[in-house]
Copies of this chain bind each other. A is one copy, B any other.
Amino acid sequence: MKGKEITIYDLAHQLQVSSATVSRALKDDPLISLKTRKRIFEHAEKMGYRTNYFARNLRSQKTHTIGCIVHELQSNFINSVLAGIEKVTAEASYDLLIAHSAESYKKEISNARNLFQKRVDGVIASLSIDTVNLDHFSSFSEKHIPVVFFDRVEKSDKYAAVIIDNYKCGYEATAHLIEQGCKKIVIVTSSLSRNVYAERLRGYKDALFDFGLPYDENLVIINDLSEQAGISAANQILAMKPMPDGAFIANDFVAAVSMRVLKENHVAIPDDIAIVGFNNDVIGKIVEPALTTIHYAGREMGEVAATTIIGHLSGESTIQKINTIIINSAMIIRQSSLKRKRDRPATI
């Protein structure tokens, strides 16, 4: 069974038709009569024919591959986005090339270069925390290769973006804490060069203002969202006098780590301090008390990003027209933020 690979020439010869006919039939080209198509299909199947994508791509000058750059892989959010992208691209029979920058601008640049070398037909990306500009994507725009950013985006008329309304999320989380009676709310976040964090902070500020609370920049803790960052954020909170009675933390993992440290220091959650996380990670259901968080439809975000790229590639729409798409998000209230134990049941 080691034998040679079957080609369309073999099939053509065996069926006494031309290779062109086989090629067309295999793509289900209506130009070929249904009868011939069927005959060729069945024969190809029987012979164990597999299309040679290299020959096809070489000839057609398309790779049928979408490149994807993400800043993180150990994240439920990113994984659901990826699942959404995968679903859509697979349906359109595009391949997916996933590169991850591990939150490094330098790596992101080399990821982009790599995808460019691999001649992807389109790019979907979420920016690393320390990315300073979009120059590394210009090789794509120069060759008219479509690029769509998601979640961590940068405004540009050259590329489209799929995001959630981070401002609204920040506002709602803060308002919720205030409604629970919090008067001094810490926000633990990351680089304000990234839209997601900057926007949420803006929402936080506006909520404070609307409810008549003062904004104090000492209550803004900026770090890298690592485990260590969670520990030190908690320690900073513990050191504040008086201690804050609310915290809005940029992701559920950091929130969980902080909660652990706070509890070790005999701080009661939510009574002493109410906590809201972000992302709706599984960990939020494991920690005690269960974590109030913001849920975003990662899967949907991925699907939308992929659909946009593929629509563009098949000439249905143009990325320049679309520019920005906003996906839904919603707060999930659990015990960690419920100071006023009332009728409202915790959502699990």
Contact = CB atoms under 8 A, between A and B. Distances in A.
B53 A143 contact: no
A218 interface: no
Interface stretch (A25-33, A280-288, A293-301): A280-288
Say which size band chain A's interface belongs to.
35 or more
Contact of A256 (B54, B57, B286): B286
B50 A54 contact: no
A136 to B, nearest CB: 14
A51 interface: yes
Given A142-B1, A286-B256, A286-B260, A55 B58 contact: yes
Interface string A98-116: 1000000000000000001
Contact of A1 (B116, B143, B286): B143
Interface in A116-152: 116-119, 142-144
Q: How many copies of this kind of chain does the complex include?
A: 2
Interface in A39-69: 50-55, 57-58, 63
A76 interface: yes
A162 B287 CA distance: 34
A79 B79 CA distance: 11
A2 B145 CA distance: 10
A123 to B, nearest CB: 15
Contacts of A288: 260, 263, 288
Given A74-B79, A142-B2, A54 B51 contact: no
B118 A53 contact: yes
Interface of A: 1-2, 50-55, 57-58, 63, 73-74, 76, 79, 82, 95, 97-98, 116-119, 142-144, 227, 253, 256-257, 260, 263, 282-283, 285-288
The 6 closest A-B pairs by CB, nearest first: A54-B58, A54-B57, A1-B142, A54-B54, A256-B286, A50-B117
